[in-house]
Amino acid sequence: MNHLLSLILFTPLVGAAVLMFVNKRSENAIRWIANLFAMAGFLVSLPLWFYYDDRNPSWQFVERAAWIPSIGADYHLGVDGFAVLLLLLTTMMGAIAILSSWTAIKERVKEYYIFLLILQTGMIGAFVSLDFLLFFLFWEVMLVPMYFLIGIWGSDRRLYSAIKFFLYTLAGSVVMLLGILALYFNYTDPQTGLHTFDIAQFQQHGFDTSLQWWVFLAFFLGFAIKVPMFPFHTWLPDAHTDAPTAGSVILAAVLLKMGTYGFIRFSLPMLPDATRAFVPMIATLSIIGIVYGALVAMAQRDWKRLVAYSSVSHMALVMLGMFALNPVGIKGSIIQQINHGISTGALFLLVGVVYERRHTREISEYGGLSKVMPVYAAIFCVMMLSSIGLPALNGFIGEFLILQGIFTVSKIWAAFAATGIVLGAAYMLWLYQRTMFGKIENPKNENLPDLNFREVMTFVPLIILAVWIGIYPTPFLNRLNTSVDRVIARVSPQYLQQNASGTPADCGQKPAASKWQVAPCGPGQAASPATAPAGTVPADQPKKVERKAIPAGGTAPSHEPGKAKPPTTAAAAPAKPVGGR
Amino acid sequence: MDLIWLIPLLPGLGAAVNGIFGIRYFSKRTAGVLACTTMAIALGVSLTAFVQLLGLSPEARVHDVVLFDWFPRTALEMAGGRIGSLHIPWAFRLDPLSSMMILIVTGIGFLIHVYSIGYMHDEPRGGVARYFAYLNLFCFFMLTLVLGANYLVMFVGWEGVGLCSYLLIGYWYEKKSAADAGKKAFIANRVGDWGFLLGVFLIYFTFGSFDFREVANAAATLPVETAQFGTLSLITLLLFVGATGKSAQIPLYVWLPDAMEGPTPVSALIHAATMVTAGVYMVGRNAVLFTHAPMTMEIVAIVGVLTAVMAASIGLVQTDIKRVLAYSTVSQLGYMFVAMGVGAFAAGAFHLMTHAFFKALLFLCSGAVIHGMAGEQNILKMGGLKKYMPVTYATMMIGTLAIAGIPPFSGFFSKDEILLQAFLKNKFVYGMAAFAALMTAFYMFRLMSLTFFGSYRGAAWETAGHHGADAGHGGHGAWHGPHEAPKSMMFALVVLAVGAVLAGLVGIPTAIGGGNAIEHFLAPSFEASHSAITAGGTGYAGTEAGATTHPGAATHAEPATAPVAAASVPAEGGAEISKAFELGLMAFSVLIGIIGIAVAYRFYVRRPEIAARLEQRLAGPHRVLTNKYYVDELYDATVIKGTMASANGLWAFDRRVVDGAVNGSGWMTIFSSWFSGIMDKYVVDGLVNLVGSVLQESSFVFRRLQTGLIQNYALLMLFGVFAFVSIYLLVVRSL
The pLDDT, as a whole number, for residue B562 is 38
Q: Do A505 and B231 touch (CB under 8 A)?
A: no
Contact of A468 with chain B, judged by CB distance below 8 Å, is answered with no
* Position A545 pLDDT exceeds 70: no
Question: What is the percent of chain B with per-residue pLDDT over 70, rounded to a whole number?
Answer: 91
Q: Do A433 and B643 touch (CB under 8 A)?
A: no
Q: Is the peptide bond before B408 cis (omega within 30 degrees of 0)?
A: yes
B331-369 pLDDT tens trace: 999 999 999 999 999 999 999 999 999 999 999 999 999
**CA-wise closest residue to B239 among B260, B269, B216:** B216
B645-657 pLDDT tens trace: 999 999 999 999 9
Q: Write phi, then psi, for A563 (nearest 5 degrees).
A: -90, 95
Find out whether A229 and A286 touch, Cβ atoms under 8 Å.
Answer: yes
Contact of A562 with chain B, judged by CB distance below 8 Å, is answered with no
Contact of B176 with chain A, judged by CB distance below 8 Å, is answered with yes
CA distance, residue B66 to nearest chain A CA (Å): 6
Mutate to test the interface with B, among A157, A166, A480, A516 (most CBs of B within 10 A): A516
- The count of other CB atoms within 10 Å of the CB of residue A374 is 17
Q: Residue B569 to residues B511, B552, B557: CA-CA distances in angstroms?
A: 15, 14, 9
Pairing of strands B83-94, B63-77: antiparallel
The Cα A461–Cα A214 span in angstroms is 43
Q: Do B643 and A295 touch (CB under 8 A)?
A: yes
pLDDT band at residue A522, thresholds of 50, 70 and 90? very low
* Position A267 pLDDT exceeds 70: yes
- Contacts with B262 from chain A: Cβ below 8 Å: none
The answer to whether the pTM exceeds 0.90 is: no
The pLDDT, as a whole number, for residue B143 is 95
B294-322 pLDDT tens trace: 999 999 999 999 999 999 999 999 999 99
Mean pLDDT of B3-15: 92
Mean pLDDT of B525-540: 53
Find out whether B173 and A437 touch, Cβ atoms under 8 Å.
Answer: yes
Q: Is A302 helix (H, G, I), strand (E, B) or coil?
A: strand
Question: What is the percent of chain B with per-residue pLDDT over 90, rounded to a whole number?
Answer: 51
Mean pLDDT of B725-730: 86
Q: Do B68 and A429 touch (CB under 8 A)?
A: no
- Contacts with A510 from chain B: Cβ below 8 Å: 209, 214
Mean pLDDT for all residues in chain A? 85
Q: Residue B232 to residues B198, B228, B547, B670: CA-CA distances in angstroms?
A: 13, 10, 20, 60
Residue of A nearest to B188 (CA): A422
Closest partner residue to A370 (CB to CB) among B86, B152, B173 is B173
B548-562 pLDDT tens trace: 333 433 334 334 443
Q: Do A439 and B149 touch (CB under 8 A)?
A: no
Closest partner residue to B187 (CB to CB) among A408, A426, A556 is A426
pLDDT band at residue B477, thresholds of 50, 70 and 90? low
pLDDT band at residue B234, thresholds of 50, 70 and 90? very high
ipTM over 0.90: no
B-proximal residues of A, 134-163, CB under 8 Å: none
Q: Do B532 and A512 touch (CB under 8 A)?
A: yes
CA distance, residue B479 to nearest chain A CA (Å): 27
Mean pLDDT of A217-243: 92
pLDDT band at residue B478, thresholds of 50, 70 and 90? low
Contact of A62 with chain B, judged by CB distance below 8 Å, is answered with no
Contact of A370 with chain B, judged by CB distance below 8 Å, is answered with yes
Contact of B662 with chain A, judged by CB distance below 8 Å, is answered with yes
B74-96 pLDDT tens trace: 888 888 888 888 999 999 999 99
Pairing of strands B63-77, A73-79: unpaired
Q: Is B88 helix (H, G, I), strand (E, B) or coil?
A: strand
Contact of B91 with chain A, judged by CB distance below 8 Å, is answered with yes
pLDDT band at residue A562, thresholds of 50, 70 and 90? very low
B578-623 pLDDT tens trace: 788 888 888 998 999 999 999 998 888 888 888 888 888 888 888 8
A308-349 pLDDT tens trace: 999 999 999 999 999 999 999 999 999 999 999 999 999 999
Contact of A473 with chain B, judged by CB distance below 8 Å, is answered with yes
Residue B267: how many CA atoms within 13 Å on its side-chain side?
A: 33
Mean pLDDT of B235-264: 92
- Contacts with B664 from chain A: Cβ below 8 Å: none
Q: Do B83 and A545 touch (CB under 8 A)?
A: yes
Give the total residue count for chain A: 581
A526-536 pLDDT tens trace: 333 433 344 34
CA distance, residue A71 to nearest chain B CA (Å): 34
Amino acid of residue B486: P
The pLDDT, as a whole number, for residue B523 is 87
Which of residues B465 and A238 earns the better pLDDT score? Answer: A238
Q: Is B71 helix (H, G, I), strand (E, B) or coil?
A: strand
- Contacts with B79 from chain A: Cβ below 8 Å: 557-560
The Cα B76–Cα A82 span in angstroms is 20
Mutate to test the interface with B, among A310, A550, A563 (most CBs of B within 10 A): A550
Q: Do B214 and A472 touch (CB under 8 A)?
A: no
DSSP-derived secondary structure letter, A574 = S
* Position B567 pLDDT exceeds 60: no
Which of residues B291 and B537 earns the better pLDDT score? Answer: B291
The pLDDT, as a whole number, for residue B363 is 94
pLDDT band at residue A37, thresholds of 50, 70 and 90? very high
Which of residues B518 and A552 earns the better pLDDT score? Answer: B518
Residue of A nearest to B189 (CA): A422
The pLDDT, as a whole number, for residue B80 is 81
Mutate to test the interface with B, among A165, A169, A295 (most CBs of B within 10 A): A295
B659-710 pLDDT tens trace: 899 889 888 888 888 888 888 888 888 888 888 888 888 887 777 777 778 8
pLDDT band at residue B109, thresholds of 50, 70 and 90? very high
Residue of B nearest to A468 (CA): B70
CA distance, residue B418 to nearest chain A CA (Å): 32
Closest partner residue to B648 (CB to CB) among A299, A368, A557 is A299
Within 8 A by CB and 6+ apart from B681, the residues are none
pLDDT band at residue A106, thresholds of 50, 70 and 90? confident
The pLDDT, as a whole number, for residue A523 is 39
Chain A, chain B: beta-carbon pairs less than 8 Å apart: 237
Contact of A504 with chain B, judged by CB distance below 8 Å, is answered with yes
- Contacts with A547 from chain B: Cβ below 8 Å: 82-83
Mean pLDDT of A296-304: 94
* Position B293 pLDDT exceeds 70: yes
- B332-353 in b/e burial notation, b at 16+ Cβ within 10 A? bbbbbbbbbbbbbbbbbbbbbb
Q: Write phi, then psi, for B77 (nearest 5 degrees).
A: -70, 145
B-proximal residues of A, 508-537, CB under 8 Å: 510-512, 514-516, 518-519, 521, 525
Which of residues B224 and B476 earns the better pLDDT score? Answer: B224
Mean pLDDT for all residues in chain B? 85
B389-444 pLDDT tens trace: 999 999 999 999 999 988 889 999 999 889 999 998 888 999 999 999 999 999 99
Residue of A nearest to B63 (CA): A515
CA distance, residue B176 to nearest chain A CA (Å): 6
Contact of B78 with chain A, judged by CB distance below 8 Å, is answered with yes
Contact of B77 with chain A, judged by CB distance below 8 Å, is answered with yes
A146-184 pLDDT tens trace: 999 999 999 888 899 999 999 999 999 999 999 999 999
Q: In this structure, is the dihedral angle defined by the CA atoms of residues B720, B722, B724 and B726, taken in order, positive or negative?
A: negative
The pLDDT, as a whole number, for residue B578 is 77
Q: Do B650 and A292 touch (CB under 8 A)?
A: yes
Find out whether B456 and B385 touch, Cβ atoms under 8 Å.
Answer: yes
Closest partner residue to A404 (CB to CB) among B76, B213, B529 is B76
B17-67 pLDDT tens trace: 998 888 888 888 899 999 999 999 999 999 999 999 999 888 888 899 999
Give the total residue count for chain B: 735
Contact of A295 with chain B, judged by CB distance below 8 Å, is answered with yes
Question: What is the percent of chain A with per-residue pLDDT over 70, rounded to a whole number?
Answer: 85
